[in-house]
Structure 1
């Protein structure tokens, strides 16, 4: 793996790049977890592996989800593996799964099956091929010619690079590994409206997804997963087509405009700059009063829900918000 001499930098925000790990796995069958678009927050709490199946940090993704995966690397290192069904692919896939799972959440392996997507096999020089991402940037590429012991070194280097850049958070497990001789555990079924929302999200139909979540909340007012899902969808709706540079310029030129500050905070959350988003709104709350202050506070609380209460950045910001209010 060839490492770049530059530190990871954030990519230009793409409104389609919200990260929701719960939708990655094929047939995941779980509602959007309290996770952060763009790697903005930890995915939902780890679900214990059923029937003794070990947890795994390898997850199957679709080509259209690559942007989401890359954005997640602002939170933790990600290896994207494009593989086939050939022996070299099978060996490399198994080796990387073992190495990634051994790190217990310090990085993620996103797998794309090129046999189901021939266009990938045609565009790639060879399959299997893996690309490592940290901070939204590719930091290396390697193929099946790399021996297993060198792959282990590369994975360790990725974790070290991430730690040096302040990425110390562990991701929850995203799947379970099948133990030889055991049947794979059955995935829990989503409630119909959640499934409808997830399908709409996969088609980038945010209006339909929002409608499904709203109906789920109407039928079950204490449906926290639906509330979080709705907040995520609204974030996507607000940021679709937005330009981060223009938003920052508008916010800098209008420091008393609560909507301008909220627009940048939304884009920062989407791009994985969660602390920047929280700090921006807390600063606004500290220096403003009345209706605008309440608007900023309510929006900040909504961003907390998207990020997830278990995220330490939320806890830290809540303390700052309390000081700003009282």
Structure 2
């Protein structure tokens, strides 16, 4: 994940000019008046390629946080509820715009979403990188605080209310994470994936039915495996040795982490088909692990499971 620290000024890391259907935002000094209000259907908006220009305009009055996600993405499902909770608690000082990258390829391309979840802010129509990957709630709060400071420095100090009504009261605080889950989150934040794996594994020893720990364990194991791996070198190694299980595993992990789900499954299924029956078990186990990360209901998982069953029987 990237270092979630905002710069002291707006940084246009991506070019959103092709997504506008209105004139560019006003020059500095011509922003919306301080404390201006704007009515929105909800503080959490589902945004598409077609409706995104309205979000750019909205960001001239109130900072907008863009959450780029996908249904198959496990870390997205971990992060999105945190983002929504923090936005609601801020009472209209920030609006959240959710973008399904699979359904909105123009936005995915514009934001250069090579891995998700990816979170970017919009301030006065300008993109401000925030972070990539699932981060703990406390870290999300810290980054949002930096965003509000940056927005104020650029004259974006308005607020949003739902249908013109006063913002709702913040919900009651949720109970703290279980100690081992908190330990795993802290380790992930520090990039110590081995410690996070150990924490989740211990949580499952204490409660084998802990679904959140099981999901977190699969995600952090994937992060641990791909950390620091050179993509080009890994692809070259896999191409030169089509039946090298370790080499194919590495590229499949990189593909899944980068959102290329069907490529990851196809690679391992092809490998499974080529190997002798007595060497297939590790490949089958890795496939089942990667299926769990995406979810049994996903059509890509269903299709891959069908092919695996045909190869088995």
TM-score scaled by structure 2?
0.54
Q: Cα 1:81–1:310, aligned 2, differ >3 Å: closer, same or farther? A: same
2:121 maps to 81
Superposition RMSD in Å: 4.2
Aligned residues: 206
Q: Which runs of 5+ in 1 are unaligned?
A: 5-17, 30-48, 50-55, 60-69, 93-109, 129-143, 145-176
Q: Which has the higher contact order (CA 8 A, sep 6+)?
A: 1
CA offset at residue 203 of structure 1? 2.2
Q: Distance in 1 between matches of 2:155 and 2:283?
A: 49
Instruction: Tell me, yes or no, if structure 1 residue 197 matches structure 2 residue 187.
Output: no
CA offset at residue 111 of structure 1? 11
1:281 maps to 268
What is the SS of the residue equivalent to 2:18? coil
- What is the 5 A alignment of 1:198-217? 198-217=185-204
Q: Cα 1:202–1:120, aligned 2, differ >3 Å: closer, same or farther? A: farther
Q: Distance in 1 between matches of 2:149 and 2:278?
A: 52
2:172 to 186, 211, 232: 186
What is the SS of the residue equivalent to 2:172? coil
* Structure 1, 260-269 or 179-188: larger mean CA deviation: 179-188
1:152 maps to none
Q: Distance in 2 between matches of 1:301 and 1:288?
A: 17
- Alpha-carbon displacement from aligned partner over 1:222-279 (angstroms, at most 9, x marks no partner): 2222112111111111111101111111111101111111110000011111110000
- What is the 5 A alignment of 1:1-326? 1-3=16-18, 19-23=75-79, 58=97, 80-83=120-123, 116=146, 180=166, 182-186=168-172, 188-189=174-175, 190-326=177-313
* Alignment check: 8 A CA contact 2:197 2:221 kept: yes
* Alignment check: 8 A CA contact 1:82 1:113 kept: no
Q: Distance in 2 between matches of 1:214 and 1:257?
A: 28
* Alignment check: 8 A CA contact 1:281 1:300 kept: yes
CA offset at residue 284 of structure 1? 0.9
Q: Cα 1:263–1:74, aligned 2, differ >3 Å: closer, same or farther? A: closer
* Alignment check: 8 A CA contact 1:82 1:127 kept: no
Q: Distance in 2 between matches of 1:216 and 1:244?
A: 32
TM-score scaled by structure 1?
0.52
Flag the structure with larger Rg: 2
CA offset at residue 117 of structure 1? 5.5
- Alpha-carbon displacement from aligned partner over 1:88-114 (angstroms, at most 9, x marks no partner): 79xx9xxxxxxxxxxxxxxxxx99967
Q: Distance in 2 between matches of 1:289 and 1:57?
A: 51
* Alignment check: 8 A CA contact 1:285 1:325 kept: no
Q: Which runs of 5+ in 2 are unaligned?
A: 1-15, 20-73, 89-94, 99-110, 127-139
What is the SS of the residue equivalent to 2:259? coil
